[in-house]
Structure formats: structure tokens, C-alpha cells
Amino acid sequence: MIYLDSAATSYYRPPQVADAVADAIRYMGNSSRGTYEAALSTSRVIYRTRCLLDKLFYGDGPEQTAFTMNSTESLNIALKGLLLPGDRVITTVLEHNSVLRPLYELEKQGVEMKIIDCDEDGILDYEAMRQAILQGARLVVCTHASNLTGNLTDIGRIGRWCREQGILFVVDASQTAGIFPINMQTDYIDVLCFTGHKSLMGPQGTGGLCVRKDVKIRPLLSGGSGILTYSKNHPEEMPTALEAGTMNGHGIAGLRAALLYLKEQGAESLRKKEQELAWDFYIRAGKIPGIRFYGDFSDRNRAPIVTLNLGDEDSGAVSDYLATELGIYTRSGGHCAPLLHQRFKTAEQGSVRFSFSHYNTQEDVDAAVKGLKEY
């Protein structure tokens, strides 16, 4: 098997991640629900993981990191907890449905939505974004890297414009958290939403959001918290305010192990290997007649994603052939990015996405190129 779908989820993970989850299942109790060692040790693991994430993203302190089960939950909490009827929100055609669908729901409730377009290579129209920001809004939300094209968004530039106008800036870091540098301070990010199961290489069912200290988000859920039992209201202090119920302590233990691995290996060196593999695949696949790529390949500094079509061939047929005949696993279809597919006029055909991990090899690239040639 050759796994080239790391943009969907990490299949290859450091072995210590599985070991940490197994140990957690054997020995962990419930954080904040007891003063015995099994519960206290769980609290320590969760707190240490908050610290690692806070340092990774240059947040406002570990207490400002709240855990969720994925980016979708994080984005729902942020958007539904910050926007009210009558507010204006700015977003882009690059977004995943984890941003778009909550916004469509909020639009029905009276939130005004402005969507910024891109060019034929999927590059955001920054001037249109700047003009929209100057016109005012409650919030801007955008992806750091498109899960369809791999293009990076200049979040530092957008964040600066937002801060100058007093507009909240929410970033979807699903494709970049852990492997690309993100600095909440210098990028002027108010809320950073991330998932643990992609470039962070943690278990599925882990994720979170890092929130700037003076940003107050209305909780999406309320319930058990382990503290203030006799209050009728859910606690307002972070991170408990956004963490109702028992957390995925077992998964968070695995996420901590993955964060320690990234810290030890160095995210930059891992990212460079992924980018080199993706770039080699792009160059060699580009020599195949009929290949059409989607995205901006003028710069190698991009997410390790190469999305393409073979002429007018159905993307699902190509992906199925690679999987069933050659054991090469890719992603086909719409990739939960409907507006960008409409922009590329590929809503019906879809596209085939190849996404790389540093665990992939040159032999994997060779096989993928050979498979496309033979289709």
C-alpha cells in the first residue's frame, strides 16, 4: 500500500503516538473528576499538551487552548460563539465546508456574509479582501492552506488588516498546524482552529482552538465541568468555558506524544521533505499528456498537495484505478471545497488529490507517476 492522502488524515504516525494512547487507555482516569492519582495524572497530561500547543502557536497562555474533537467543532464554536444576527463576516471561496456550512446557517439567522474570490490558480484576491475589510465586519475567517490546491494564504497580511480595523481574525489551520510556522502574535490571529489528526499526526478525535485572551466566545455546549457544580451556569473561565463534558484524554495523550515527536524532529526539516516529494511528483506528472493541475505552483513553499485531472476522465475512476490496481491511495471528488470547485469548473468531474507525508518515499512518487502514465 502507498498512502498519498495525508491531507485527509495521517495514516503514518510515530509509534510513540499509539503507545501513548494504549497507556492512556490502561491507566488514565477522568481529568478534574477526582484527587486520586489516575485522575491527577490525566490532568497533568492534558495541561502539558496545552503548554506544547501554546508554545507551538505563540498563544496567550496554555489556559487559552481549549480541546475539541476536530477543526469542524473548533470552527463551529468560534463562528457560532462570536457572530450574532446583524453582524458581517468575510470569508473566501477557498474554504472547506467546516467554515462554509456554519456560515450558511448563520446567514439564515441574519448574519451578512461576504465571500472573496480567487484567480484561475486559486490565489486569493487580496485587494478585494482589503477593500472588504475596510468596509467593516465583525469577523474574517479564512484557511491557512487550501485542502484542494495546497496554496498558502498570507494570513499575516490579512491579520494585520483586521487588527488595524478592529476586526476579529479566525484562521482554519487544518492543513498547516504542526508542520508550517504559525505565530498568533505576529500573524494577528484572534482564534486559531486546528485538528490533531493531520500534520500534527495525533489521533483522530483531537483538535482545539487557541483564543486570544480578550476574546470572549459563547460556549457551544454546557454541562459537566468538574468545577462550580452548584452554579446554574457553565463556567466562564478558559479553557473550561469551551470544554463541557469529559474530554478525549486518551487521544490528547497521543497528541502530546506527536507534539513531542515534532519538536524533537524539527517541523521545518519534515516540511521540506514533504514539499520535495510533492514537487518532484508535480514536475514528473506534468510531463504526462492531458494532465491538468489546480493551484499555484510558482513557488515551492506550499502545502504538500498536488491536485490534478487526467483530461476529462472522472476523478473517481482514476482514484479507484490507482487504489484497486496498484494499491495507491488518493482522494477524489469534491474534497468538501464546493466554491473552489465551482471556480475551477470541476464540480462535476471533481479532481484527484495526492498529498504527501514525510514518511513517504521516492519510490512512492515513482509508483504514483507510473500509475498515472498507465491509466
Set of cell numbers at residue 92: 473566501
How many angstroms separate the CA atoms of 205 and 149, rounded?
A: 25
Asked if the model's pLDDT at residue 67 lies above 90, the reply is yes
What residue has cell string 506550499?
302
* pLDDT at 35 (0 to 100): 77
Task: Give the CA dihedral 89, 94, 97, 99, nearest 10 degrees.
Answer: -30
Which tens digit of pLDDT belongs to each residue from 329-349?
999 999 999 999 999 999 999
Is 34's pLDDT higher than 80? no
Residue 131: name the closest of 90, 102, 191, 88 by CA. Answer: 90
Render pLDDT for 231-245 as a digit per residue (tens, 0 to 9): 888 888 999 999 988
Residues 191-204 pLDDT 10s: 999 999 999 999 99
The pLDDT of 13-27, averaged and rounded, is: 96
The answer to whether residues 341 and 314 touch, using CB atoms and an 8 Å cutoff, is no
Mean pLDDT of the chain: 96
Q: At 329, phi and psi to the nearest 5?
A: -100, 120
Q: Please name each of the domains of the chain with its CATH number.
A: 2-11+267-374 (3.90.1150.10), 15-265 (3.40.640.10)
- With beta carbons less than 8 A apart as the criterion, state whether 16 and 257 touch: yes
Q: Is the pTM of this model over 0.75?
A: yes
